[in-house]
Amino acid sequence: MSRTDPGSRRRDGNSHSHNGGNSLDHGHNGGDSSGDGGNAEYGRRTFTRSRSHFTDRITADGRDGWPVEAGRYRLVASRACPWASRSLVSRRLLGLESALSLAVADPIQDDRSWRFTLDPDGRDPVLGIRYLSEAYDARETGYPDGVSVPAIVDVPSGRLVTNDFQQITLDFATEWTALHRPGAPDLYPERLRDEIDEVMADIYRDVNNGVYRAGFATRQSEYEEACTGVFRRLEALSKRLADRRYLVGDTLTEADIRLFTTLVRFDAVYHGHFKCNRWKLAEDPVLWAYARDLYQTPGFGDTVDFGHIKRHYYRVHTGINPTRIVPVGPDVAGWLTAHHRQELGGRPFGDGTPPGPVPPAEEVPATGRP
């Protein structure tokens, strides 16, 4: 699935899937084609999540025809999207900024989906394109499931390489090692992979994907089943994290990244917009402290733009929020308050070190930070 969260659309402008790999299961293509007026189909049709269509891998040995090579590829992401945000966190923690350039898409899509209207003249300065769909079209025409992020594009050819959001970050950790910064953490340690995979599968099913199943449910029973699953899993995670700093082992892993990108959006979006409202993240002392610990860890919070997050969900999902009004709250200042999780021990970066400063061109503007 590669899709970022809500917003992937077919190249012809018709809504077909969420940018996070979400498909709306229907017999005809719907959608909004009136500029950036949102998508009224979200919340009106049964939600399913589709698989990533472009699953080539960029590997150390280049076995799929795409060898790891500094400067060759460009990561296209949206700071609004939890699936794409995984790649932003991983790239920062591993120090891949100089090896893999970054294009940040506008959080508000128009009828051709992800666009580069944050850049001068509305064109990505490296790829020279206005829409991510142009890189998809250069790879294949008539592709299914829409245009999604994260996406990695081959700069010389302008072709999409992969939009496989489940695999991209694992490959960053295991295939891009020659380009890691000195002191980069091992985010997917081999001895813990079985446990990490098990934890991530539960988080994906019930939390990462569960909030979407609740938010886009079209029947009361669907909503209640999904919402119950979300909070059942959050309660289990709260118990798991009560006496350990991180999900698996005593260092940060891919599992923490995948949980974080949902938790950081929970109170701002999923609690109200997706009706996952049994309680707020800030009302669970364990998960709230855990999330703040991660947010304050270099490589996590410095990739988060709360402005992009709220504008995307509330302005794109017009089937759920037809007025497109973006809430003024919640107050995000709490993300910077003391968490005291260090008292549980743990070594965030293992034997490594924190990443360096955010490249100036990639800093989140003050309007998106606490």
Residue 368: count other Cβ atoms within 10 Å of its Cβ.
Answer: 18
Which of 42, 73, 81, 290 is catalytic? The answer is 81
CA dihedral angle for residue 125, residue 69, residue 349, residue 232, rounded to 10 degrees: 70
Residue 276 is a catalytic residue: no
Residue type, 234: L
Alpha carbon separation from 16 to 87, 111, 194, 288 (Å, rounded) = 23, 12, 34, 34
Nearest to 273 by CA among 33, 77, 69, 5: 5
Q: Give the residue among 65, 22, 58, 66 at the shortest CA–CA distance from 41.
A: 22
CB atoms < 10 A from the CB of 322, how many? Answer: 11
**Tokens coding 79:** 């700071």
Given the residues 212, 223, 313, 314, the one annotated as active site: 212
- Who contacts 314 (Cβ-Cβ below 8 Å, separation ≥6)? 269, 273, 321, 324, 325, 326, 327
- Residue 270 annotated to the active site: no
- Known catalytic residues? 81, 212
